[in-house]
Amino acid sequence: EVQLVESGGGLVQAGGSLRLSCTSSGFPFEAYAVCWFRQAPGKEREGVSCFNSDGRSYYADSVKGRFTISSDRAKNTVYLQMSNLEPEDTAVYYCGASFNVVFSGSYILDNSGAIESWGKGTLVTVSS
């Protein structure tokens, strides 16, 4: 059974940092793309960052230079280091995996339908 479990969310002041973790099981972690999406209240889910199986990383323009995605294959975990957080970053952050090796990380960021398995999410709240 494929499982993705997010952790690390919380309340932080603007300008602060958080690190989210996504631990996976049930599939060969290193063979597929694992991505972070977020959904703010009243808004659609949007792509934040993807880590491809080839080691390439992709970011939404809104988080470039502030967020960094990385992975620890030994732990089957993908991390999202978020720095210089803004109130606009407040959202539930979801981890997802895409098992179609044809899709690049940049494609997946713009097409949440490419994600085939989702975690339950972790809430990030940034206060001003």
Each residue's pLDDT tens digit, 8-64? 999 999 999 999 999 999 888 778 899 999 999 999 999 999 998 888 999 999 999
Query: Residues 94-118: pLDDT tens digits?
Result: 999 998 888 888 999 999 999 999 9
- What local confidence, expressed as pLDDT, does residue 124 receive? 98
> Averaged over 74-103, what is the pLDDT?
94
- What local confidence, expressed as pLDDT, does residue 123 receive? 98
- What local confidence, expressed as pLDDT, does residue 100 receive? 85
Cβ burial, residue 68 (10 Å; 0-12/13-18/19+)? middle
Q: What are the angstrom distances between the C-alpha of 116 and each of 4, 15, 28, 82?
A: 11, 33, 14, 24
> Averaged over 86-90, what is the pLDDT?
97
- What local confidence, expressed as pLDDT, does residue 103 receive? 86
User: Over 90: is that where the pLDDT of 121 sits?
Assistant: yes
